[in-house]
Structure 1
Amino acid sequence: MCFQEMEYKIYVDYWAKFMEEKNFGSIFERKLAPTYWDRNLTMMDGVSIFYNKEKVKLLNYERIEFTSFFQNPKFFEQTKDTRQRLVSRNTVALVAVLEHIETHEVLFVANTHLYWSPRHEDVKLMQTYELTELVWKAVQRYYHQCCDKDIQEQMESSDGVNIILAGDFNSAPDSMVSRYLVNGNIDITKEKQMQVYDYGSTVGPELLDRLGRFNSPYKDLYDKGTFTRTAYLPRFKRVIDYIWLNEHSKRLKVTKILDELGDQDLPKYLGFPNPDYPSDHLPIVTQFEVTKDESTGDAGHVAYRSSL
């Protein structure tokens, strides 16, 4: 289960303990406090991943603070726009390396909460690009250390690489972020929202997702217009939360997804949160079948949840 906007204090005092009683382990990454923050740091929110210890075990995890990579001249030229639009954000992510106990399949699960502003679509695209780069490096490190394999070799093998991205991407299905993930690349010279900003020579005309293409299990519902919102506020009702499955996830098969609340329920409310629904987002859930080897029929089930 992947959560965003969870306060650190609430995680420590309640969620970590409550879920541990249910035999769920967890990891958490807290956002950096912005300059205007005058409250206790324990009240700062972050992202968390909870995993069922009966089904998977945590092999490793990585905490990501995007600003530490954006301010590194080795990765990004330190232009005015880089410093003011990218470095200044306190966006974080988590990457968990999990082993499915029944099949021994390895799963890479990333959870993030991208910058919120609709006037910063460029920032969200660059954050997504950096996320895929960092997940790629995490996958590369794992297969190099465990099996002395190159990531490309593993991706092209019959086993593939099981990668799931989840979180609040604050981006619509037709956004630059979604198109980058779905297509595996994006030509930023053709994007008006990118042409007005200078991120230097370290960012080429094309952003390439080295992980390849991603697809949402909810795509058919998006296309049919039958799943139209994951955020439900009085003045904003739209899909901005996702579970993305990588094209190289050859051992993961989607078996079920959770539909949105029906039209008979939602019209009762101007928006969320309220006493019945404590979050301004609707949950999205995907159940996967994890197969080890088609010839043996060895399989298990894992369910992941994004956005509370």
Structure 2
Amino acid sequence: MADDRGDWKVVLQFFIVPLSLVAVLVSVFFGLQVLRSRQPDPQTALEDLKGKGSFLLPWVKDPKRWQAGYDFSLLLRSHTPGNAGTLIPGMADAFRDAGSQGDQKLRRYLALALGRSGDSHAAAALREGLKDADGETRLFCAWGLMQIADRDAIADLRAAATDSDAGVRTMAVFALGQMGDHDGAPVLKRALGDRERDVRWNAAISLARIGDASGESLLLEILAIPTPVPARAGDADPSAGASPSLNAIRALALLKNDAARAALKRASESDPNEEIRRTAGAALESLDTEARDVLP
């Protein structure tokens, strides 16, 4: 009997336990493969976000709906803009519900999703969101309205240019330039005197977008700010830290006046940052080509 018990211990130790572990690992592996094989679509993701089909909900009291909202916004980004029309009512309802429930993270990601939809029917909810108490939500709503290019939101974006949150003001003035709001020039000119540098800079760039040189001195100031230069080639991205200057170059190229040309010429010849020199040179060349094209 003692020998029989010893044999069973050996069998248990060297065969049954390892085989059980293998079975568990194989089950986990195939379970993960099944999950990976699922090709989620925005409609299914939206239904999951709203709670339908969430089989863990009875057991998990905090389902992290904001994470689902983030995943949904990324999923929507991979789909063709303008093809989410049937989803908009559900997205707008979820956006408003998140606000009434105080779920700010979810509301922010749904604002991103509404903007990424590229559908004009999403604009009403985003315009409502510009009045949200949360600054990040207002910022994402301003971004979304810019993505949709909703002309009816121009007045709301002009008002957002005086928002208490600097990030919202920055996005609002950027959006007005991106959307070509020529009638909003007075708003952008006032923003040139904003206490926050990013707001002033974006206002100058937006004015250049609509052909107004009122912010040219700021653009020249941006271009004059030294940018980091890698100690050796390949040490870092050559455009790292140069983004403001690169944006200023593009804005100056839109103004096409003598002061802008002179600044672009200086930058193309003497700026220590290679990316800035190259971009300024290309901008100057495009202006020269354009000038030659209009000669009689």
Bin for the TM-score computed over the shorter chain = under 0.3
TM-score by length of structure 1 reads 0.24
What TM-score do you get using the length of structure 2 for normalisation? 0.24
Larger Rg: 2
Q: If each structure's strand is expressed as a fraction of its own residues, which one has the higher value?
A: 1
